[in-house]
Amino acid sequence: MSQRLNPTQLKELKDCFSVFDSDDSGSICVKELKKVCESLGIKVGDRQVNELMRLMDRDGSGSVDFKEFVNVMAEQFFREPTPAELEAAFDTFDQDKSGYISEEELLMVMTRFKGNITISDVQKMIQAVDKDRDNRINKKEFIAVVLNQKY
Protein backbone atom coordinates (compact mmCIF):
# COMPACT_ATOMS: atom_id res chain seq x y z
CA MET A 1 0.00 0.00 0.00
CA SER A 2 1.64 3.20 -1.14
CA GLN A 3 -0.39 5.48 1.10
CA ARG A 4 -1.50 4.98 4.70
CA LEU A 5 -5.13 4.72 5.60
CA ASN A 6 -6.51 6.94 8.30
CA PRO A 7 -8.53 5.36 11.17
CA THR A 8 -11.87 6.25 9.53
CA GLN A 9 -10.89 4.59 6.25
CA LEU A 10 -9.62 1.52 8.07
CA LYS A 11 -12.90 1.27 10.00
CA GLU A 12 -14.88 1.57 6.75
CA LEU A 13 -12.85 -1.29 5.27
CA LYS A 14 -13.36 -3.37 8.43
CA ASP A 15 -17.13 -2.77 8.28
CA CYS A 16 -17.18 -3.65 4.59
CA PHE A 17 -15.10 -6.79 5.19
CA SER A 18 -17.46 -7.95 7.94
CA VAL A 19 -20.42 -7.62 5.56
CA PHE A 20 -18.62 -9.65 2.91
CA ASP A 21 -17.48 -12.25 5.47
CA SER A 22 -21.03 -13.48 5.98
CA ASP A 23 -20.04 -16.53 8.04
CA ASP A 24 -17.74 -14.51 10.36
CA SER A 25 -14.81 -16.83 9.61
CA GLY A 26 -12.29 -14.00 9.36
CA SER A 27 -11.85 -14.47 5.64
CA ILE A 28 -13.80 -14.16 2.41
CA CYS A 29 -14.16 -17.36 0.39
CA VAL A 30 -15.04 -17.68 -3.31
CA LYS A 31 -18.71 -18.31 -2.50
CA GLU A 32 -18.93 -15.12 -0.41
CA LEU A 33 -17.10 -13.12 -3.07
CA LYS A 34 -19.57 -14.29 -5.71
CA LYS A 35 -22.49 -13.40 -3.42
CA VAL A 36 -21.09 -9.89 -2.96
CA CYS A 37 -20.77 -9.42 -6.72
CA GLU A 38 -24.32 -10.64 -7.29
CA SER A 39 -25.72 -8.39 -4.55
CA LEU A 40 -24.05 -5.47 -6.33
CA GLY A 41 -25.78 -6.49 -9.56
CA ILE A 42 -22.54 -7.73 -11.11
CA LYS A 43 -23.08 -10.93 -13.04
CA VAL A 44 -19.96 -13.06 -12.79
CA GLY A 45 -19.25 -16.62 -13.77
CA ASP A 46 -17.18 -19.08 -11.80
CA ARG A 47 -14.10 -18.37 -13.90
CA GLN A 48 -14.36 -14.63 -13.28
CA VAL A 49 -14.87 -15.06 -9.53
CA ASN A 50 -11.93 -17.46 -9.33
CA GLU A 51 -9.75 -14.97 -11.20
CA LEU A 52 -10.83 -12.16 -8.87
CA MET A 53 -10.05 -14.40 -5.90
CA ARG A 54 -6.63 -15.22 -7.36
CA LEU A 55 -5.84 -11.51 -7.65
CA MET A 56 -6.94 -10.77 -4.09
CA ASP A 57 -5.59 -13.91 -2.38
CA ARG A 58 -1.94 -12.96 -2.21
CA ASP A 59 -0.85 -15.79 0.10
CA GLY A 60 -2.60 -18.50 -1.95
CA SER A 61 -4.71 -19.74 0.96
CA GLY A 62 -7.90 -19.95 -1.10
CA SER A 63 -9.57 -17.10 0.76
CA VAL A 64 -9.00 -13.40 1.40
CA ASP A 65 -8.14 -12.36 4.94
CA PHE A 66 -8.53 -8.80 6.21
CA LYS A 67 -4.92 -7.83 5.50
CA GLU A 68 -5.23 -8.97 1.87
CA PHE A 69 -8.58 -7.20 1.59
CA VAL A 70 -7.05 -3.97 2.87
CA ASN A 71 -4.13 -4.25 0.44
CA VAL A 72 -6.48 -4.62 -2.51
CA MET A 73 -9.18 -2.18 -1.45
CA ALA A 74 -7.06 0.62 0.02
CA GLU A 75 -6.17 1.99 -3.40
CA GLN A 76 -9.86 2.76 -3.87
CA PHE A 77 -9.59 5.45 -1.19
CA PHE A 78 -6.94 7.25 -3.19
CA ARG A 79 -8.60 7.48 -6.57
CA GLU A 80 -11.67 9.19 -7.92
CA PRO A 81 -14.39 6.92 -9.27
CA THR A 82 -15.03 7.23 -12.99
CA PRO A 83 -18.31 8.72 -14.23
CA ALA A 84 -19.33 5.21 -15.40
CA GLU A 85 -18.67 3.81 -11.90
CA LEU A 86 -20.74 6.58 -10.33
CA GLU A 87 -23.59 5.90 -12.77
CA ALA A 88 -23.47 2.16 -12.05
CA ALA A 89 -23.45 2.74 -8.30
CA PHE A 90 -26.41 5.12 -8.49
CA ASP A 91 -28.31 2.68 -10.72
CA THR A 92 -27.78 -0.09 -8.16
CA PHE A 93 -29.86 1.94 -5.72
CA ASP A 94 -32.29 3.56 -8.20
CA GLN A 95 -34.13 0.33 -8.94
CA ASP A 96 -37.12 1.93 -10.70
CA LYS A 97 -34.88 4.24 -12.79
CA SER A 98 -36.78 7.33 -11.60
CA GLY A 99 -33.62 9.38 -11.15
CA TYR A 100 -34.03 9.30 -7.38
CA ILE A 101 -33.26 6.88 -4.57
CA SER A 102 -36.32 6.49 -2.37
CA GLU A 103 -36.53 5.18 1.19
CA GLU A 104 -37.81 1.85 -0.12
CA GLU A 105 -34.99 1.49 -2.66
CA LEU A 106 -32.31 2.39 -0.12
CA LEU A 107 -33.81 -0.02 2.41
CA MET A 108 -33.88 -2.84 -0.15
CA VAL A 109 -30.24 -2.42 -1.17
CA MET A 110 -28.94 -1.83 2.36
CA THR A 111 -30.82 -4.89 3.64
CA ARG A 112 -28.94 -7.01 1.10
CA PHE A 113 -25.69 -5.85 2.69
CA LYS A 114 -26.46 -5.46 6.36
CA GLY A 115 -29.65 -7.48 6.84
CA ASN A 116 -30.85 -5.83 10.05
CA ILE A 117 -31.23 -2.25 8.88
CA THR A 118 -34.43 -0.44 9.84
CA ILE A 119 -36.54 2.15 8.06
CA SER A 120 -35.46 4.58 10.79
CA ASP A 121 -31.80 3.95 9.85
CA VAL A 122 -32.64 4.59 6.20
CA GLN A 123 -34.50 7.79 7.02
CA LYS A 124 -31.45 9.06 8.92
CA MET A 125 -29.21 8.25 5.96
CA ILE A 126 -31.49 10.11 3.60
CA GLN A 127 -31.72 13.13 5.92
CA ALA A 128 -27.92 13.31 6.05
CA VAL A 129 -27.65 13.36 2.24
CA ASP A 130 -30.87 15.03 1.11
CA LYS A 131 -29.84 18.66 0.65
CA ASP A 132 -33.01 19.77 -1.17
CA ARG A 133 -35.19 18.14 1.52
CA ASP A 134 -37.49 16.19 -0.82
CA ASN A 135 -37.03 12.95 1.19
CA ARG A 136 -35.12 11.20 -1.56
CA ILE A 137 -31.60 11.22 -2.96
CA ASN A 138 -31.00 12.59 -6.43
CA LYS A 139 -27.94 11.78 -8.52
CA LYS A 140 -26.18 15.04 -7.64
CA GLU A 141 -26.62 14.40 -3.90
CA PHE A 142 -25.46 10.80 -4.31
CA ILE A 143 -22.33 11.78 -6.22
CA ALA A 144 -21.52 14.49 -3.67
CA VAL A 145 -21.62 11.90 -0.88
CA VAL A 146 -19.57 9.35 -2.82
CA LEU A 147 -16.95 11.97 -3.67
CA ASN A 148 -17.17 13.42 -0.14
CA GLN A 149 -17.91 16.86 -1.51
CA LYS A 150 -20.29 19.61 -0.55
CA TYR A 151 -23.43 19.80 -2.65
Q: Note if the pTM is more than 0.85.
A: no
For domain 83-146, the CATH architecture is Orthogonal Bundle (1.10)
Q: Is the pLDDT of residue 57 over 90?
A: yes
What residues does each domain of the chain span? 7-78, 83-146
For domain 7-78, the CATH architecture is Orthogonal Bundle (1.10)
| DSSP alpha helix (H) spans, 1-149 | 7-20, 30-39, 46-56, 66-73, 83-93, 103-114, 119-129, 139-146
Average pLDDT over residues 47-74: 90
Q: Is the pLDDT of residue 94 over 60?
A: yes
